[in-house]
Structure 1
Amino acid sequence: MRQKFRLGLLINPVAGLGGSVALKGSDGVASQAIALGAKPQASHRMAQALDIFVKYADEIEVVAAAGLMGEDLAKSKGFTTQVIDTLNSAQFGETTASDSRHFASAMMTQNIDLLLFAGGDGTARDIYAAVGDSLPVLGVPAGVKIHSGVYGITPVASGMVVKQLLEGELVSLMTADVMDIDEALFRQGKVMAKRYGEMQVPAEPRYIQAVKMGGRESNELVLADIAAEVIEQIEGETVIVGSGSTVAAVMQELSLDNTLLGVDVIASESLLASDVKANELIDIVNQRRLDSLPVKLMITVIGGQGHILGRGNQQLTPELLKMIGKENILLVATKTKLKALEGRPLIVDSGEPELDQWLSGYYRVITGYRDYVMYQVSSPVSEA
């Protein structure tokens, strides 16, 4: 009789809470984020991963953290579930980093084949502190910032890797860096990344994300050319301005203050709102629609990873993206960043797989003045 696959399951319920309300993360600000109207998403994103291989539930034994940290979701999906003791915080949602470390450490004694966890870079650090490189792990991206290389590129992608394992495909293990940044500095617009160690992850380059590239774009002339092209295209328009250095170059050319790691809004080349929250963006778009005015969205590519949505810009919610429409997305990037992807598609991870599929396709990327590249935007949901 075939031995069942033992899957460790751990969810950080507060991961990503700060994203939609412009807090740039969740470390130490979960209560503030909820007070501002943020809704927990980590369990929902883990559910997207589980749905990919739930048909194999009879072949899996889930070893879950208690309550909201894994147990509730595993049982709701019909998995045979062994629960690792109980913490009051795990039952009632008042979870901390020590809870993640507690459950990850406990799983070390449960002979699991893979630890699947949902969170952000802080969660990856907690898992690493507990298990080091002694246990295969795989992250389901649910945080605001995902610099570590231990995550799938989307929740669906993480599910696809587990599905491959269950179907007996040969999936090698590789080591991947655990990275994190100082959120206090991050909220001040400064990025200070640090490598904390490495963990074992399934080596599946289609689905596992690369470590984010650091550094500033060196070719200032290229950035100036991109900015000149964008400014011509948005004359008189209302534009939601995403995060990133390439987009920042456009704001600099317009002599406007820019929230490098947040979302701003400009109207007729003037600053309308800075560091805007998700609900505020919805209000702005609704008002413009009442006046029959379209709103455009300008976003760029995370170097090395290829994400254009779902990393550091969770203010751009599925509801907002549907309101704006695919045709009003301005995608800007240098050819250097695109070439560094070595042919891999750009990734959308909005939080809704169906929306990701709708947003997929070939986009005209602004790469200079009167200079464009056709590039594919994709999501693993199409393969699932």
Structure 2
Amino acid sequence: MFKLGLIINPLAGVGGSVALKGSDGADTARQALEMGAVPRAGERALLALDALKGLDLRCYTYPGEMGQLAAEQAGFEPIVLGQIEPGHTSAEDTQNAVRDLVDAQVDLILFAGGDGTARDLHGVVPETIPVLGIPAGVKIHSGVYAITPRAAGEVVAMLIRGELVSLREQEVRDIDEKAFREGSVRARYYGELLVPEEGRFVQRTKSGGKEVEELVLEDIAADLVETMEDGICYVMGSGTTVQAVMEELGLPNTLLGVDLVRDGELIGSDLSAAELLELTEGQECRVVVTIIGGQGHIIGRGNQQLSRELLQRVGRDNLVVVATKTKLKELDGRPLVVDSGDPEFDQQWSGLIRVITGYRDAVLYPVEG
């Protein structure tokens, strides 16, 4: 079941209708309310949530106007976390909500707000957690927002249905409201957040609208090799996609076996489960796997050397999945499969996972035990 985190900044956008050019800060928001402004962020969130009705999801949110009311109005039975003082929410409440949602292991954080809200999220959300903004603020300069509230809901719905949705790092920007009120636009870059976008099957390496496998494998390999870190052991699983990564590294590869790489060097070749445990003892590790075409297995078929003991040591966040979009499309929406032989372990590894599908190109895809 998809675990959706929902955060609403109830004061987002209140300064717009009364010409305050923004809503950042408690004083500005209070002034806007005193001038007769009516908060609309909850209504904007409802437009997004409407696109999610009837889908298999569990909603986690914060009390009252920070998400609970909108979720219940949309027909969900949300799991409510944390505490707030109704009518007096702040940036600190938003950041507390993010931390609690991350602890609840949500698959994505959907938030309603403006650029100030995006800044609040950027300060605390881990780089591995995707977020998507429902535009509700006066200023929307950041690239983390959907073009409309309904569009935000549609992208999340695609994720829940298992459709291909790309992941992109998008900029968080905000302007100086004081300067803006004086007629000057000064946008400042604060960083980036991981954001889902509507998936497009046609990508850069294409021919007649279809992937050229050799070129795509080169792109996947280049992306992964570029992000490999010194001092970390990389357990390289079997298959042609992982083989392309080894070729990019200039190392020999065991096509149907498992190899171990560290700092660009081959540490072990065609290793057994016991050898992998011994060689990675006390080491920071990542496990690189691909999918079995047409079947979707990533663990438990063709790579039994990746024992539960090794995977538990490494952790799900350090599982790196690589595959072409063509292979994912061939699954016809079926999830990737973890089949370790331990149903409880398999269930713990279920959920959405990032799949590298090209150079700086990735999608979120569901995994089931």
TM-score, normalization by structure 2: 0.52
Alignment partner, residue 24 of structure 1 = 21
Q: How big is the shift at 1:36?
A: 1.2
Do structure 1's residue 143 and structure 2's residue 123 form an aligned pair? no
Alignment partner, residue 36 of structure 1 = 35
Unaligned runs of 5+ in 1: 207-384
- C-alpha contact (below 8 Å) 2:172/2:190 kept by paired residues: yes
- C-alpha contact (below 8 Å) 2:7/2:109 kept by paired residues: yes
Do structure 1's residue 199 and structure 2's residue 193 form an aligned pair? yes
Q: How big is the shift at 1:21?
A: 0.6
> Secondary structure at 2:158's aligned position in 1?
helix
Alignment partner, residue 63 of structure 1 = 60
Alignment partner, residue 224 of structure 1 = none
Task: Tell me the distance in 1 between the aligned counterparts of 2:100 and 2:54.
Answer: 27
Task: Tell me the distance in 2 between the aligned counterparts of 1:134 and 1:189.
Answer: 37
Task: Kindly provide the CA deviation profile for residues 292-342 of structure 1, in whole angstroms up to 9, marking residues without a partner as x.
Answer: xxxxxxxxxxxxxxxxxxxxxxxxxxxxxxxxxxxxxxxxxxxxxxxxxxx
Alignment partner, residue 313 of structure 1 = none
Task: Tell me the distance in 2 between the aligned counterparts of 1:130 and 1:105.
Answer: 7
Q: How big is the shift at 1:48?
A: 0.4
Do structure 1's residue 181 and structure 2's residue 175 form an aligned pair? yes
**Aligned partner letter, 2:5:** G
Shift in alpha-carbon separation, 1:205–1:31, aligned structure 2, 3 A: farther
**Aligned partner letter, 1:38:** A
Q: How does 1:352-363 map to 2 (within 5 A)?
A: none
> Secondary structure at 1:131's aligned position in 2?
coil
Q: How does 1:1-384 map to 2 (within 5 A)?
A: 4-28=1-25, 29-56=28-55, 59-88=56-85, 92-204=86-198
Shift in alpha-carbon separation, 1:132–1:111, aligned structure 2, 3 A: closer
Task: Tell me the distance in 1 between the aligned counterparts of 2:84 and 2:36.
Answer: 26
Task: Tell me the distance in 2 between the aligned counterparts of 1:204 and 1:24.
Answer: 31
TM-score, normalization by structure 1: 0.50
Task: Kindly provide the CA deviation profile for residues 138-179 of structure 1, in whole angstroms up to 9, marking residues without a partner as x.
Answer: 000000000000000000110110111122211121110010
> Secondary structure at 2:174's aligned position in 1?
strand
Q: Which segments of structure 1 move beyond 3 Å, counting only runs of 4 or more?
A: none
Task: Tell me the distance in 1 between the aligned counterparts of 2:189 and 2:183.
Answer: 20
Task: Kindly provide the CA deviation profile for residues 253-281 of structure 1, in whole angstroms up to 9, marking residues without a partner as x.
Answer: xxxxxxxxxxxxxxxxxxxxxxxxxxxxx
> Secondary structure at 1:39's aligned position in 2?
coil
**Aligned partner letter, 2:181:** R
**Aligned partner letter, 2:17:** S
- C-alpha contact (below 8 Å) 2:155/2:197 kept by paired residues: no
Moved more, 117-126 or 186-195: 186-195
Task: Tell me the distance in 2 between the aligned counterparts of 1:60 and 1:70.
Answer: 15
**Aligned partner letter, 2:187:** A
Task: Tell me the distance in 2 between the aligned counterparts of 1:203 and 1:32.
Answer: 36
Task: Kindly provide the CA deviation profile for residues 63-122 of structure 1, in whole angstroms up to 9, marking residues without a partner as x.
Answer: 10121101111122221311112122xxx1211111111111111111101100000000
**Aligned partner letter, 2:70:** L
**Aligned partner letter, 2:29:** A
Q: How big is the shift at 1:132?
A: 4.1
Number of residue pairs matched? 198
Task: Tell me the distance in 2 between the aligned counterparts of 1:79 and 1:60.
Answer: 9
Task: Tell me the distance in 1 between the aligned counterparts of 2:175 and 2:199.
Answer: 24
Q: How big is the shift at 1:203?
A: 2.3
**Aligned partner letter, 2:91:** A
Alignment partner, residue 274 of structure 2 = none
Task: Tell me the distance in 2 between the aligned counterparts of 1:162 and 1:130.
Answer: 22
Q: How big is the shift at 1:53?
A: 1.6
Task: Tell me the distance in 2 between the aligned counterparts of 1:200 and 1:101.
Answer: 17
**Aligned partner letter, 1:49:** A
Alignment partner, residue 263 of structure 2 = none
- C-alpha contact (below 8 Å) 2:164/2:199 kept by paired residues: no
**Aligned partner letter, 1:33:** A
Unaligned runs of 5+ in 2: 201-369
Between the aligned residues of both structures, percent identity stands at 52
Task: Kindly provide the CA deviation profile for residues 223-256 of structure 1, in whole angstroms up to 9, marking residues without a partner as x.
Answer: xxxxxxxxxxxxxxxxxxxxxxxxxxxxxxxxxx
